[in-house]
C-alpha cells in the first residue's frame, strides 16, 4: 500500500524537521569535562535500593542464656554420639562434665548476646528433638542388623535341632529294627 503525501506522518519537530534535528545532533558539543564512565561503579542494578544492612540488636541476657543452653545441649548430645559411634563405645564416655558444659553454655550465651542470635522457642524444641533422635539412627541401624543376624542364627539353630531329632529318631528306629531282627534268630 502506497501512502500519499497527505497520509504520510509529519516529520516536523518543534524546532524544525528531521534534517534539522540530525544536524543538531551531529554538531560539535561544548566539552563539559565529564567522562561517560564516571560514577558507573557506584550505580546499583535496577530495582535495588541502597539500604544499610540492619545491625544485629543485642539480645536480652535471659534469651541469650536460653539459646546458649540449647546450643550447648545440642553440641553435648550430638558430638558424644558421633564419637561413640566411631569408637563403637557408649557415648557417655565422651560427654562434657558439668563444669565444662557450664563454661560452654556461658561462652555460647555471651556470643549469642553479642551477635543477637535469638532462637525462637519452637525452633529450640525442634532442633533439640532432631539432635537427640537423629544421633540414635546409627545405633538403631546397628541393632537392627544384629537382631536380623540373631533371628537368622535362631532359625538355623531350630533347623539343626530338628535335624538332630530326625537323625536320632532314625538311629533309634534302626537300633530297634536291629534288635528285633537280632531277637528273632
Question: φ and ψ at 13, to 5 degrees?
Answer: -110, 165
Contacts of 83 by beta carbon, 8 Å cutoff, 6+ apart = 91, 94
Q: Which residues pair with 13 in a beta bridge?
A: 16
121 CB-contact burial (10 Å; exposed 0-12 / middle 13-18 / buried 19+): exposed
pLDDT at res. 162: 95
Split at pLDDT 50, 70, 90, the class of 168 is very high
Q: For residue 96, is pLDDT > 80? A: yes
Q: What is the pLDDT of residues 6-64, one digit of tens each?
A: 565 555 556 667 788 788 778 887 777 777 777 777 776 776 665 666 665 666 777 77
pLDDT above 70 coverage of the chain, percent? 79
Least confident of 5-14, 54-63, 96-105, 168-177: 5-14
Least confident of 47-61, 80-94, 125-139: 47-61
DSSP string of 47-80?
T----PPPPPPPPPHHHHHHHHHHHHHHHHHHHH
Q: For residue 113, is pLDDT > 90? A: no
Task: Give SS3 for 13.
Answer: strand
Do 131 and 78 meet the contact criterion of CB atoms below 8 Å apart? yes
For the question of whether the overall pTM of this predicted structure is more than 0.75, the answer is no
Helix (H) or strand (E) holding 98: helix 98-115
Q: For residue 1, is pLDDT > 70? A: no
Amino acid at each position: 500500500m502506497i501512502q500519499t503525501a497527505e497520509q504520510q506522518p509529519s516529520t516536523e519537530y518543534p524546532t524544525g524537521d528531521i534534517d534539522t534535528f540530525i544536524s543538531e545532533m551531529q554538531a560539535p558539543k561544548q566539552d563539559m569535562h565529564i567522562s561517560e564512565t564516571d560514577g558507573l561503579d557506584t550505580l546499583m542494578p535496577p530495582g535495588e535500593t541502597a539500604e544499610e544492612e540492619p545491625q544485629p540488636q543485642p539480645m536480652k541476657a535471659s534469651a541469650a542464656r536460653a539459646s546458649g543452653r540449647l546450643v550447648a545441649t545440642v553440641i553435648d548430645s550430638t558430638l558424644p554420639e558421633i564419637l561413640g559411634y566411631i569408637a563403637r563405645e557408649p557415648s557417655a564416655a565422651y560427654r562434657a562434665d558439668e563444669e565444662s558444659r557450664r563454661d560452654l553454655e556461658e561462652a555460647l550465651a555471651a556470643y549469642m548476646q553479642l551477635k543477637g542470635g535469638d532462637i525462637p522457642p519452637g525452633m529450640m524444641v525442634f532442633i533439640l528433638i532432631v539432635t537427640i533422635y537423629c544421633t540414635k539412627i546409627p545405633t538403631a541401624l546397628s541393632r537392627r542388623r544384629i537382631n536380623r543376624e540373631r533371628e537368622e542364627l535362631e532359625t538355623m539353630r531350630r533347623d539343626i535341632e530338628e535335624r538332630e531329632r530326625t537323625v536320632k529318631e532314625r538311629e533309634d528306629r534302626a537300633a530297634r529294627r536291629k534288635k528285633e531282627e537280632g531277637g528273632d534268630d
